[in-house]
Chain A
């Protein structure tokens, strides 16, 4: 198994079970290869960071860069009022 293959199997293994033979080859490769052991650690860190609440928070607090423009906002507001009133009508 080459490093390129090992990297692929490690990635696959994060989202699905991998075949026994691949798994064993990977274990052997990892035993021999420091680069791939380091990559394995990097993969785990990347997953942890991507799934962190803080990434989501960072994404949503930087809203000032991306905003609904006035026209879209007005259009959506109108749609909501309309939907709201229709809902109220059918309720009573």
Chain B
């Protein structure tokens, strides 16, 4: 054993044996939010940790260990998405049609004009705000939630996302558009619907 004994300055040295206890639940949570299948999420965590284990000599320590592990996890989740995307799904379904109809009238105008969202300022420090946002993402139809997580939260590029989800670029833009309409509706209802008199005055 050529490595020096564990000491404080050596804390950055990899200790694969504590990866699971330190990051296991967070990784599982992250994977489950995206894959929505316990078994698949468990597999993604296991595969990631094993991949990290065999690649730990190449880790340069430029990023935090946690960031590095989550980077690997993202790729494993993408692989799983790819395996799941066997056929291109039909894009129009009742749930999203209803969303469009709720939002715009027959002439394509807003039924209810979007409200002015005051900069939430210190609200952003409140965990309720972020829980609300998570709740709104989770409340989207599954495929819209998947898409928004990959593109906007994980900031994957659109080509990768299309490949992972097995959809065309056109479908991707449609999904993102609908996801945004769904999110704004939910956020507005959940967070900005207090004393909004101007909205009640709409003609």
Q: Do A and B bind each other?
A: yes
- Which residues of chain A are near B183, meaning CB under 8 Å? 46
Which residues between 49 and 81 of chain A lie within 8 Å of chain B, taking CB atoms? 49-52, 54-60, 62-63, 65-68, 72-73, 75-77, 79-81
Interchain CB contact under 8 A, A75 and B177 = no
Residue from A4, A54, A79, A87 with most neighbouring chain B CB atoms (10 Å):
A4
Secondary structure at chain A's binding surface: helix, strand, loop or mixed?
helix
Q: Is A30 located at the chain interface by the 8 A CB criterion? A: no
Interchain CB contact under 8 A, A87 and B53 = yes
The 8 Å CB contact of A45, one of B24, B117, B131, B155, is B117
Q: Is B12 located at the chain interface by the 8 A CB criterion? A: no
Could you mark each residue 26-47 of chain B with 1 if its beta carbon is under 8 Å from any beta carbon of chain A, else 0?
Answer: 1011101100001000100110
Secondary structure at chain B's binding surface: helix, strand, loop or mixed?
helix
The 8 Å CB contact of A35, one of B17, B113, B133, B172, is B113
Given contacts A39-B114, A76-B42, A77-B20, contact A11 B176 (CB under 8 A): yes
Interchain CB contact under 8 A, B173 and A58 = no
Interchain CB contact under 8 A, B114 and A73 = no
The 8 Å CB contact of A80, one of B16, B26, B108, B169, is B16
Given contacts A7-B181, A38-B114, A76-B42, contact A16 B173 (CB under 8 A): yes
- Counting chain A residues whose Cβ lies within 8 A of the other chain, the interface size class is 35 or more
Interchain CB contact under 8 A, A79 and B133 = no
Interchain CB contact under 8 A, A34 and B117 = no
The 8 Å CB contact of A84, one of B17, B169, B184, is B17
Interchain CB contact under 8 A, B152 and A59 = no
- Which residues of chain A are near B88, meaning CB under 8 Å? none
Which residues between 110 and 135 of chain B lie within 8 Å of chain A, taking CB atoms? 110, 113-117, 124, 127, 130-131, 133-134
Q: Which residues of A contact B (CB under 8 A)?
A: 2-5, 7-8, 11-12, 14-16, 34-36, 38-39, 41-43, 45-47, 49-52, 54-60, 62-63, 65-68, 72-73, 75-77, 79-81, 83-84, 87
